A and B are shown apart, each in its own frame.
Chain A
Amino acid sequence: MLSWATIGVGIAIVAPQVVLAPLRGEPAVQDARAEPDRGRAFYFTRVIYTDWYQSQGGRGRFGRGSWSVDWPKADIQFVMGLTHLTNLDAYEEDNLIRFDDPEIRRFPFVYALEVGYMNLTDSEVLGLREYLMAGGFLVIDDFWGLREWYNFEQQMYRVFPEYPIVDIPMDHAVMHAFYEIDEILQVPARGRGINFGRPTWEDPSDTVPRVRGVFDDEGRLIVIINYNTDLGDAWEWAEDPWYPLDKANFAYQLGVNMIVYAMTH
Chain B
Amino acid sequence: MFEFFFKYRPIVFQQGDLVFESPVPIWVLVLGGMVLAGVGVMTYVKGRRGLERRNRIILSALRIVTIAVLVFALSRPMLVIATIVPQQNFLGILIDDSRSMGITDRGDEPRGQFVYDQFGPEGSQLLSALSDRFQLRFFKFSESMNRLGDVSELTFAGARTDLATALDKARLELAAVPLAGLVVVTDGADNGDASLSEAILQLQADGVPVHTIGLGTERFAKDIEISRIEAPRRVLLGSAVAVDLTVNQSGFDRQTVKLVVEDEGRILMTQQVELPSGGEPTTVRVHFNADEIGSRLFKFSIAPADDEVVRENNELETLIRVDDSRKNILYFEGEPRWEIGFLRRAVADDENVRLLVMMRAAENNFRRYGVESPDELEAGFPRTREELFRYDGLILGSVEASFFTPDQLRMIAEFVEVRGGGLLTLGGRWAYAEGGYAGTPVGDALPVVLERPAESEGRFFAELDVRPTPFGLTHPVTQLGPTPEESKDRWSELPALSTLNLIREVKPGATTLLTARAAGVSGDVVVLAYQRYGRGKSISFVVQDAWFWQMHADIPLEDMTHETLWRQMLRWLVDGVPDHVSVVTEADRVSPNTPMTVTAVVTDSGFLHLNGAEVVATITGPSGTSQDVPLEWTVRRDGEYRGVLTPTEQGRHEIQVTSRYNGAVVGTGTSHVEVGDLGAEFYGAEMQADVLKHVAAETGGRFYTPETVETLPEDVSFTESGTSVFEERDLWDMPIVFLLLAATLGAEWIYRRQRGLP
Known contacts A41-B336, A89-B429, A263-B340, A135 near B498 by CB under 8 Å:
no
Q: In the complex, what's the smallest C-beta–C-beta distance from A199 to chain B, in angstroms?
A: 35
Q: Are A260 and B461 within 8 A (Cβ)?
A: no
Q: In the complex, what's the smallest C-beta–C-beta distance from A138 to chain B, in angstroms?
A: 14
Tell which of B300-308, B547-555, B595-603 binds the partner. Answer: B547-555
- Contacts of A105 on B, CB cut-off 8 Å? 548, 551-553
List 14 A-B residue pairs with CB atoms under 8 Å apart, sorted by A's residue number: A87-B361, A105-B548, A108-B547, A135-B341, A136-B551, A177-B367, A178-B361, A218-B348, A220-B345, A263-B338, A263-B340, A264-B341, A264-B344, A264-B357
> Which A residue sits closest to B357, measured CB to CB?
A264
Interface residues of B (CB under 8 A from A): 334-338, 340-342, 344-345, 348, 357, 359-363, 365, 367, 369, 429, 459, 461, 463, 498, 500, 544, 547-548, 550-553, 555, 557
- Contacts of B461 on A, CB cut-off 8 Å? 38-39
Q: Is the interface of B mostly helix, strand, loop or mixed?
A: mixed
Q: Are A39 and B498 within 8 A (Cβ)?
A: yes
Q: Are B498 and A87 within 8 A (Cβ)?
A: no
- Contacts of A87 on B, CB cut-off 8 Å? 334-336, 360-363
What would 10 more interface pairs be, CB under 8 Å, given A87-B363, A134-B555, A263-B341?
A: A39-B461, A41-B337, A42-B336, A86-B335, A87-B336, A88-B335, A103-B553, A108-B338, A136-B551, A264-B369
C-alpha spacing A262/B429, complex, angstroms: 21
Interface residues of A (CB under 8 A from B): 38-39, 41-42, 85-89, 102-106, 108, 130, 133-136, 177-178, 218, 220, 259-260, 262-265
Q: Are B342 and A102 within 8 A (Cβ)?
A: no
C-alpha spacing A39/B338, complex, angstroms: 12
Q: Are A39 and B367 within 8 A (Cβ)?
A: no
- Contacts of A260 on B, CB cut-off 8 Å? 336, 361, 367
C-alpha spacing A86/B459, complex, angstroms: 20
> Which B residue sits closest to A129, measured CB to CB?
B557
C-alpha spacing A177/B336, complex, angstroms: 11
C-alpha spacing A15/B359, complex, angstroms: 51
Pick from B367, B429, B544, B551: contact of A135, CB under 8 Å: B551
C-alpha spacing A130/B362, complex, angstroms: 32
C-alpha spacing A108/B338, complex, angstroms: 8
C-alpha spacing A150/B338, complex, angstroms: 33
- Contacts of A88 on B, CB cut-off 8 Å? 335-336
- Contacts of B459 on A, CB cut-off 8 Å? 39
- Contacts of B361 on A, CB cut-off 8 Å? 86-87, 178, 260
- Contacts of A264 on B, CB cut-off 8 Å? 336, 340-341, 344, 357, 359, 367, 369
Q: In the complex, what's the smallest C-beta–C-beta distance from B547 to chain A, in angstroms?
A: 7
Pick from A39, A42, A177, A265: contact of B544, CB under 8 Å: A39
Q: In the complex, what's the smallest C-beta–C-beta distance from B139 to chain A, in angstroms?
A: 72
- Contacts of A178 on B, CB cut-off 8 Å? 361-362, 365, 367
Q: Pick from B348, B463, B550, B553 the residue with the most CB of A within 10 Å.
A: B553
- Contacts of A218 on B, CB cut-off 8 Å? 348
- Contacts of B360 on A, CB cut-off 8 Å? 87
C-alpha spacing A264/B544, complex, angstroms: 15
Q: In the complex, what's the smallest C-beta–C-beta distance from B396 to chain A, in angstroms?
A: 15
Q: Are A135 and B345 within 8 A (Cβ)?
A: yes
Q: Are A41 and B362 within 8 A (Cβ)?
A: no
Q: Are A89 and B369 within 8 A (Cβ)?
A: no
Q: In the complex, what's the smallest C-beta–C-beta distance from A128 to chain B, in angstroms?
A: 13
- Contacts of B334 on A, CB cut-off 8 Å? 87
> Which A residue sits closest to B562, measured CB to CB?
A135
C-alpha spacing A104/B550, complex, angstroms: 13
Q: Are B335 and A262 within 8 A (Cβ)?
A: no
- Contacts of A39 on B, CB cut-off 8 Å? 459, 461, 498, 500, 544
Q: Are B336 and A263 within 8 A (Cβ)?
A: yes
Q: Which 3 A-B pairs have the closest CB atoms?
A: A102-B553, A39-B461, A87-B335
Known contacts A135-B547, A178-B365, A263 near B552 by CB under 8 Å:
no
- Contacts of A133 on B, CB cut-off 8 Å? 557
Q: Pick from B337, B341, B342 the residue with the most CB of A within 10 Å.
A: B341
> Which B residue sits closest to A86, measured CB to CB?
B362
C-alpha spacing A83/B344, complex, angstroms: 24
> Which A residue sits closest to B363, measured CB to CB?
A87
Q: In the complex, what's the smallest C-beta–C-beta distance from B170 to chain A, in angstroms?
A: 72
C-alpha spacing A134/B554, complex, angstroms: 11
Q: In the complex, what's the smallest C-beta–C-beta distance from B355 to chain A, in angstroms?
A: 12
Q: Are A108 and B344 within 8 A (Cβ)?
A: no
- Contacts of A86 on B, CB cut-off 8 Å? 335-336, 361-362, 365
Q: Are A134 and B557 within 8 A (Cβ)?
A: yes
Q: Pick from B357, B361, B461, B500 the residue with the most CB of A within 10 Å.
A: B361
> Which A residue sits closest to B552, measured CB to CB?
A105
- Contacts of A89 on B, CB cut-off 8 Å? 335, 429
Q: In the complex, what's the smallest C-beta–C-beta distance from A155 to chain B, in angstroms?
A: 21
Q: Are B341 and A262 within 8 A (Cβ)?
A: yes
Q: In the complex, what's the smallest C-beta–C-beta distance from B460 to chain A, in angstroms?
A: 9
Pick from B336, B357, B363, B555: contact of A259, CB under 8 Å: B336
- Contacts of B367 on A, CB cut-off 8 Å? 177-178, 260, 264
> Which A residue sits closest to B343, measured CB to CB?
A264
